[in-house]
Amino acid sequence: MKVRTKTFWLPKRGNATEEYEDAAWPLDSVDCETDTFRCAVADGATEASFSRRWAQLLVKGFDDETEIAKLAEEWSSEIKGMELPWYAQEKAESGAFSTFSGLILKDGGTTGGSYSAKLLGDSCIFHMRGETLLESMPLTSYECFNNSPALLCSNLSNHADVEAMFSSKEGTWGNGDRFLLVTDAIAAWTFKRQLEHGDGFKKLLEIDSQEVLDKLCHDAREEHDEQGRPNMRNDDVTLLIVEVFS
Amino acid sequence: MIDGLPNVVINRTMAYLAEISRANPSCFVFLIDQSGSMQDPFGSVTGTKTKAMGVADAINRLLQNLVIKCTKSEGIRDYYHVAVVGYGGKGVKPAFGGALENKTLIPVSEIGNNPYRLEERRKKTEDSSGAVVEQTIRFPVWFEPVAYGGTPMNSALQQATSIVVKWLAEHPHCFPPIVINISDGESTDGDPFQSAYDLMTLSSTDGDVLLFNVHISSSNHQPIEYPDNEAVLPDQHAKLLFTMSSPLPDYMRKMVGNEGIDISYNTRGFVFNADLVSVIRFLDIGTRPSNMR
């Protein structure tokens, strides 16, 4: 199969580029022939510190097939190696937190292939055929989003059963299908736009450059609904577009 | 409604939705009673901790939590500016010690980097195997217990008003400032209602200033937390404090409801006869951010 990817992202309004706390793998564009392709996005929680690093480890580790326990150890040993003031030490002791959505595409011959997704929290994967949404995972509507998504903590002792926290989804893909891996702010905006104007997914598919994403997010953050809420939450935004051809 | 007191006009159309960010920070003002009666034991005559000591611990822990909430990988972000004002026999003045002495409204990063001292305290935690281990933790101290003289609550509220007026002039679109007044007695420098009213009716474009009151007790009476009408209150002083307390905005009502406390549309940010547990819980709810970015 042939896989082409593009990743676009931007930090919260008012934040510096280095303060972006989502992560995506691959971050650079890919154009390759392969039997299996792995990609992921993760959204490091703003409330914690060093979440960006945890999110980066999770998406890269998914590609490498590294065990989560090893990723957690790596996060912890990096932080222990730093000289931190009292407040940063105490904050780091609580661990970092992140959502996760990972996708594995497998070649299935001339008619397409199969996919499997590993999901935790409110980062979403949209499976599109043309402009039609075939599958949305793990969340399926605007109402599903809230301020307390499930998060994976780098202190794994916080979780009774780490693997049980993930949900999974399997399916098939056809020639020319697209998978859009998105973090929550733009995922929620897409559903809201679809609900109110019927063109949320069409608008999402039209994003073909960083400039288009920047403008869309800038406008959506400035526009408010009748309740006075911005159409898009001021949050980090990540869009990973995967096109797959048999 | 107490006879002769005007009803506080409450603007319920405002939403308390403003983002709290470094570009649009908010502020907290804590007014702490430092009068002589704060030397009495907290909650029970058999207790060893005075009310002044209990409140100092609660405020220091609150400041510590606030600093940690605002801490990110690169350091402390100034989402908030904080004033701690003491009022008692020495008048009304900023209550921070050490490098922050005499400073009024201070960015949270400056607070985090300048505790008066770092105490070491013992804390029991669980290790990765689930065994209980004792750990030494650092407990930063910014604010010392003081208990002396009268209760100039009226002047303290006026001082809070001047702090907040200046803040709002510089941050007109901020998440509304939150003022928390902690006291164990009645004002000794005049009826504080008008001063409280002046403070509560200030606003940013996002909503009215929130004034909350915690009345702490030397008795063992059950605390009355977050009342929604005066009828449940035992005396005129409690009723006065009720009228001086803002109704909770939506997001705080939900937090209080989640603590298992009955709430209604008229629930106010007020605790009467608070023990140390309810003081800490009140401070936690009153300072939990709604929309920090």
Choose the closest CB to B138 out of A86, A157, A227: A86
CB B179 within 8 A of CB B286: no
What is the distance between the alpha carbons of residues B271 and A142, in angstroms, rounded to a whole number?
A: 38
Residue pair B177/B207 in contact (Cβ under 8 Å)? The answer is no
ipTM for the complex? Answer: 0.80
Pull the structure tokens for residue A152. Answer: 């994976």
Encode pLDDT of A86-142 as tens digits: 999 989 998 999 999 999 999 998 889 999 999 999 999 999 999 999 999 999 999
- Average predicted confidence (pLDDT) for chain B: 87
Across the interface, do B69 and A46 touch by the CB < 8 Å criterion?
A: no
- pLDDT digit string, tens, across residues A220-230: 999 988 877 88
- Least confident window among B1-5, B102-106, B129-133: B1-5
Is the pLDDT assigned to residue B251 strictly greater than 90? no
**Is it the case that residue B259 has pLDDT exceeding 70?**
yes
> Would you place residue A194 in the very low, low, confident or very high pLDDT band (cuts 50, 70, 90)?
very high
Min Cα–Cα distance to chain B from A175, Å: 41
What would the pLDDT profile of A12-34 be if each residue is shown by its tens digit?
998 999 999 999 999 999 999 99
Q: Does a cis peptide bond (omega within 30 degrees of 0) precede residue A138?
A: yes
Q: What is the helix (H) or strand (E) element at residue B57, kind and residue range?
A: helix B51-69
Query: How much is the pLDDT for B60?
Result: 93
Kindly report the backbone phi and psi dihedral angles of residue B203, in degrees, each rounded to the nearest multiple of 5, phi listed first: -155, 155
CB contact under 8 A, B293 and A157: no
Cβ(A43)–Cβ(A22) below 8 Å: yes
| For range B209-223, the mean pLDDT | 86
CA distance, residue A246 to nearest chain B CA (Å): 43
Q: Do A52 and B73 touch (CB under 8 A)?
A: yes
Contacts of A227 in chain B (CB under 8 A): 15
Q: What is the pLDDT of residue A29?
A: 96
For range A190-208, the mean pLDDT: 96
Chain A: give the shortest CA distance to residue B251, in Å: 12
CA B272, CA B262: separation in Å to the nearest integer? Answer: 15
From A52's Cα to the closest Cα of chain B, the distance in A is 9
Q: What is the mean pLDDT of chain A?
A: 95
pLDDT higher than threshold 70 for residue B13: no
User: Token digits for A193?
Assistant: 């736009």
Q: Which two tokens stand for residue A206?
A: 């039209």
- Residue appearing with tokens 């703003």: A46
The pLDDT score that the predictor gives to residue B14 is 55
- Whether residue A19 lies within 8 A of chain B, CB to CB, comes out as yes
φ, ψ of residue B288 in degrees (nearest 5)? -75, 130
Confidence class for position B291, pLDDT limits 50, 70, 90: low
CA distance B153 to B166: 20
Q: What is the pLDDT of residue B3?
A: 40
**Long-range contacts for A15-19 (Cβ within 8 Å, ≥24 apart)?**
A15/A236, A15/B293, A18/B74, A19/B72, A19/B74
On whether any CB of chain B is under 8 Å from the CB of A81, the answer is no
The closest alpha carbon to B34, from B93, B83, B100, B104, belongs to: B93
SS3 call for B218: coil
pLDDT tens for each residue of B185-208? 889 999 999 999 999 999 999 999
Taking the C-alpha atoms of residue A85 and residue A131, their distance in angstroms, rounded to an integer, is: 51
Amino acid at A106: K
Interval A147-176 mean pLDDT: 94
3-state helix, strand, coil in chain A (%, to 5): 35, 35, 35
* Chain B residue with the nearest C-alpha to that of A224: B17
Size of interface A-B (CB pairs under 8 A): 51
Q: Residue B5's pLDDT is what?
A: 41
Burial of A25 (0-12, 13-18, 19+ CB in 10 A): buried
Whether the CB-CB separation of A112 and A135 falls below 8 Å is answered with: no
User: What is each CA distance from A154 to A17, A46, A184, in whole angstroms?
Assistant: 23, 14, 20
Tokens of A2: 């042939």
* A14 touches B: beta carbon within 8 Å: yes
Query: In this prediction, what percent of chain B has a pLDDT beyond 70?
Result: 90
Confidence (pLDDT) at A226:
83
Residues of chain B neighbouring A234 (CB-CB closer than 8 A) = 19, 21, 293
Chain B residues lying within 8 Å of A50, measured CB to CB:
73
Q: How crowded is residue A157: how many other Cβ atoms within 10 Å of its Cβ?
A: 14
Candidate from A15, A87, A234 with C-beta closest to B67: A87
Say yes or no: A178 contacts chain B, CB-CB below 8 A: no
% of chain A exceeding 90 in pLDDT: 89
**B30-45: pLDDT as tens digits:** 999 999 999 988 765 4
Best CA proximity match to A14, nearest among B246, B250, B191, B292: B292
The secondary element (H helix, E strand) that includes residue B208 is: strand B207-208
**What's the CA gap between B112 and B30, in Å, rounded?**
17
Residues of chain B in contact with residue A228, where contact means CB-CB under 8 angstroms, are 15, 17
Res. B4: pLDDT tops 60: no
Q: Mean pLDDT across the stretch B79-100?
A: 94
Establish if A52 touches chain B: CB-CB under 8 angstroms: yes
Q: Where are the alpha helices (DSSP H) in chain A?
A: 51-64, 68-80, 86-93, 184-197, 200-205, 210-222
- SS3 call for B132: strand
pLDDT at A219 over 60: yes
Quote the pLDDT of residue B6.
43
Which chain B residues have any C-beta within 8 angstroms of a chain A C-beta? 15, 17, 19, 21-23, 64, 67-69, 71-76, 112-113, 118, 128, 137-138, 140, 292-293
What tokens appear for B125 in the block?
């935690």
A50 lies within 8 A of chain B by CB: yes
> Would you call A150 an interface residue with chain B, using a CB distance cutoff of 8 Å?
no
Q: How does strand B270-274 pair with strand B210-216?
A: parallel
Chain B residues within an 8 Å CB radius of A96: none
Q: How far apart are CA B269 and CA A127, in angstroms?
A: 48
All domains of chain A in start order, with CATH: 2-182+236-245 (3.60.40.10)
Listed in order, strand segments (DSSP E) in B35-184 are 71-72, 75-76, 80-88, 91-94, 106-107, 117-126, 132-141, 178-183
Contacts of B79 (CB under 8 A, 6+ apart): B20, B21, B22, B25, B26, B69, B70, B108, B289, B292
SS3 A68: helix
Which 8-state DSSP code applies to residue B8? P
| pLDDT score of B67 | 94
CA distance A148 to chain B (A): 12
Name all domains of chain B by residue range, CATH numbers in brackets. Answer: 26-287 (3.40.50.410)
Residues of A in contact with B108 (CB under 8 A): none
- Cα–Cα distance between A242 and A223 in angstroms, integer? 29
* Residue B275 pLDDT level (bands cut at 50, 70, 90): confident
Bridge pairing between strands B106-107 and B80-88:
antiparallel
